[in-house]
Amino acid sequence: MIDVADLRRSYTQGGLEESDLTEHPIDLFEKWLKQAIDSQIYDPNGVVVSTVDENNQPYSRMVLLKDYDRENLIFYTNLGSRKAQHIKNNPKVCLLFPWYMLERQVMFIGEAVRQSTVQDLKYFHSRPRGSQIGAWASNQSHLISARGILESKFLEMKEKFKNGEIPLPSFWGGYKVKFNKVEFWQGRENRLHDRFIYELKDNVWQKPVRLAP
């Protein structure tokens, strides 16, 4: 077994003070997202999506944030995937942006709902052609006996759609996560991290409160 007990580092890059907070959480998120992009860290829009199955077993996986507004975060997936089945039975989800290199995390809590087919179609055709074909080739979360099956399916779909626009799969689309809680975490020395949480009540964002680390 690898000894992980002494794997640690000090967090010294900055802090989060009340004066840094914004009235609406998305404004602070947007500021941090821009800083993550500017810092050139890998996948600054990578977000861990956590769902719960019918036995209350949590599952987490990384997806990419592809749009957002002042009420929703948007990601795309195969509608037959495990996460999609979980959401169908229980729309409550948690999204976590783990910006380790910046010693920051942002967590969004809310409910996921399907967005319109028009929005799906617009985004789908903005994707690279290979990604569009990949959506057709993969029966996400289902068992396959070998990688060769996946690659063969990709080549089959590539040949099928070689002469024209690739249609939107009926089994692929986006989810809007309407968030009602947002927590910002900034690492600090001696594990005295800064944590602030926003909460939406009666459609009004309450003043964020500090949490002990």
The pLDDT value given to residue 11:
94
* Cα dihedral 106/98/62/131 (nearest 10): 100
Assess whether pLDDT exceeds 90 at residue 142: no
Is 2 contained in some domain? no
Binding residues for substrate: 8-11, 66, 123, 127, 131, 191-193
For 69, phi then psi, to 5°, come to -140, -160
In SS3 terms, 4-19 reads as CCCCCCCCCCCCCCHH
Task: Judge if 111 and 89 occupy the same domain.
Answer: yes
pTM above 0.85, yes or no: yes
Task: Judge if 76 and 95 occupy the same domain.
Answer: yes
The answer to whether 30 and 73 have CB atoms below 8 angstroms apart is no
If pLDDT is split at 50, 70 and 90, which confidence band does 139 have? confident
- Please indicate whether residue 104 is annotated as part of the active site: no
Find the mean pLDDT for residues 148-156: 94
Task: Judge if 39 and 103 occupy the same domain.
Answer: yes
CA distance linking residue 52 with residue 93, whole number of Å: 8
Is 62 contained in some domain? yes
Binding residues: 8-11, 61-66, 76-77, 82-83, 105, 123, 127, 131, 140-141, 185, 191-193, 195
Binding residues for FMN: 61-66, 76-77, 82-83, 105, 140-141, 185, 195
Residue at 127: amino acid letter: R
Is 27 contained in some domain? yes
For 58, phi then psi, to 5°, come to -75, 150
- How many domains, in total, are found in the chain? 2
- If you count them, how many residues does the chain have? 213
Tens digits of residue pLDDT in 17-64 = 999 999 999 999 999 999 999 999 999 999 999 999 999 999 999 999
Q: Which of 70, 129, 147, 191 is catalytic?
A: 191
Assess whether pLDDT exceeds 90 at residue 193: yes
Residue at 86: amino acid letter: H
Find the mean pLDDT for residues 187-204: 97
Q: Which among 178, 196, 185 has a CA at the least distance from the CA of 93?
A: 178
Is 9 contained in some domain? no
What's 54's domain CATH number? 2.30.110.10
Is 141 contained in some domain? yes
Q: Which among 135, 126, 124 has a CA at the least distance from the CA of 157?
A: 135
If pLDDT is split at 50, 70 and 90, which confidence band does 111 have? very high
Is 121 contained in some domain? no
The pLDDT value given to residue 141:
83
Domain that holds residue 200: 18-115+175-211
Is 194 contained in some domain? yes
